[in-house]
A and B are shown apart, each in its own frame.
Chain A
């Protein structure tokens, strides 16, 4: 049990899909965050698309997913 023997039947390809699905799920959760919360700390008149931390997160997750997809 301590060695996760019960998962020995899961192939490397399936395991990779688990990781990729996890990145997609995290991305979805980030997109669901209220925009007001994302910008908290910046004055309303100074808010621009490049301050949008959702966008930052999606870019980072996309790069991560592409690395796992490649290797």
Chain B
């Protein structure tokens, strides 16, 4: 339970975030301000925001739990699972989206393929984000329940209230600037826990020695590359094909909440730099979220649920004051993830669904209001769906499972759409529908197809591959687009040598 000073720190943090977020309300005068921050933000703020919104409650609780069970190989998600994809995004995809003046990824797909592809992609992301919100809320409840003894529903509603208020009024500028503060707090709190935990276990070498002698199940705990026949969800084949080639790229290039941040940059250099700066910061994340899980193997061996590793470490290692800071850090991660999802989903709904299908040609203030109302509705959906994630054994795996349905096929059509001008609207549409259907099929019958515990990496690879093949075959069988239709939508080497000309 928290001491008096911890409560003070946590409450000061929450109130501070609320006031800071509400301060940015005055910068929101139109829908571009609300969804793209008036295209005025610097690379460092966007880079921090990308990182902190990516490591919310899921990583603090879920990755620590995975590290407790499977060791250091879970760090692949923030290392090889981020850096190469972020560089590809920075140098190829982000400049395209930025120069095209786009708001959403489905907007690009709509221009490149057709309205149906845009709508399917957008609806898919909206559904995913809504479920994601529920998982985030549940993750917060798990920690709060162990740490403070708060009832599940009270913690969920409190989180939703604070984040919803500043996201509703301040839009993406409030989201990104509160993320900057949340990033700093998360790093201070996270490193405090890591240093004190290291002291508790007698240093890194001592921890490695102790864990290595705990039994055969810990034999590969310090191998970042796991053998192909491992029973853990992270064989190197899955990391290379599923994570590096598909999921990482799909996440960094095709994920609205990530790309939308880069589109708020004040110019193209800042847009590119934000991704590269973010990739540098990303490499520190495993230290914050993975190391406490490893150290918990020594301090709290034999936990039935790995997701309890981090809460147990906080409870047993940190003194009063730092518990409050760590809790604020956790809350920072959670809030930054939730506010990103809220704003991105509101953007997707307003730009890809409401504007083309429900009310075309309304004035800008109307769309601003729609974005704000959507934010509120999403908040309610997230709260209502949060108990779903309690049915999954690992919170982090739960979210990866959701993502593996969609990421592969969406990345296949994005990749072919930008690099192969022969790709047609029917190719893209069939790849999307068949690819998502195949991913769901593989997931439902995973025991028949896969030997590893949670094959989400393999599912994303195979659904990507099928989507890719279907797209190529159907495109070759259908009428190709004209040069005029493809103008500015397909990669040409001259983007690299003739600036601003797509």
Contact = CB atoms under 8 A, between A and B. Distances in A.
Interface string B311-325: 000000000000000
Contacts of B87: 26, 30, 57, 60-61
B236 A12 contact: yes
Contact of A71 (B72, B496, B500): B72
A29 B469 CA distance: 26
A7 B496 contact: no
Contacts of A22: 84, 244
B240 interface: yes
Given A8-B229, A42-B269, A3 B450 contact: yes
A7 B90 contact: no
Q: Give chain B's interface secondary structure class.
A: helix
Contacts of B225: 12, 15-16, 19, 68, 71
A65 to B, nearest CB: 10
B95 to A, nearest CB: 8
Q: Give chain A's interface secondary structure class.
A: helix
A64 B83 contact: yes
Nearest to A39: B269
Interface string A47-62: 0000101001101110
B229 to A, nearest CB: 6
A10 B228 contact: yes
B496 A34 contact: yes
Interface in A1-42: 2-5, 7-8, 10, 12, 15-16, 18-19, 22-23, 26, 30, 33-34, 36-42
Interface residues of B, number: 49
A2 B449 contact: yes
B71 to A, nearest CB: 10
B449 A34 contact: no
B273 A56 contact: yes
A37 B499 contact: yes
Interface stretch (B174-182, B275-283, B419-427): B275-283
10 contacts: A3-B451, A4-B228, A15-B240, A37-B91, A41-B272, A53-B91, A56-B277, A60-B279, A68-B80, A71-B225
Interface of A: 2-5, 7-8, 10, 12, 15-16, 18-19, 22-23, 26, 30, 33-34, 36-42, 51, 53, 56-57, 59-61, 63-64, 67-68, 71
